[in-house]
Amino acid sequence: MQRVFITGASSGIGAALAKAYAQQGAVLGLVARRKETLAQIRAGLANPERHHLYALDVTDHAALHQAAQDFIGATGGADVVIANAGVSQGTLTEYVEDIPVFERIIATNVTATVATFHPFIVGMKASPQPQQCRLVGIGSVAGIRGLPGAEAYSASKAAVISYCESLRIELRASGIKVVTIAPGYIDTPMTQVNHYRMPFLMPVEKFAVQALAAIAAGDSYRVIPWQMGVVAKMLRLLPNSVYDFAFSKAPHKKRHL
Cβ burial, residue 51 (10 Å; 0-12/13-18/19+): buried
Residue from 54, 153, 163, 185 carrying the catalytic annotation: 153
Residue 171 and residue 23: Cα distance in Å, rounded?
Answer: 29
- For residues 246 and 30, what is the distance between their CA atoms, to the nearest angstrom? 41
Question: What whole-number distance in Å separates Cα of residue 7 and Cα of residue 10?
Answer: 8
Q: Is 163 a known active-site residue?
A: no
Inter-residue contact 31 to 54 (CB < 8 Å): yes
Q: 41: exposed, middle or buried (C-beta count within 10 Å: 0-12, 13-18, 19+)?
A: buried
Q: Is the peptide bond before 225 cis (omega within 30 degrees of 0)?
A: yes
Task: Give the residue numbers marked as catalytic.
Answer: 153
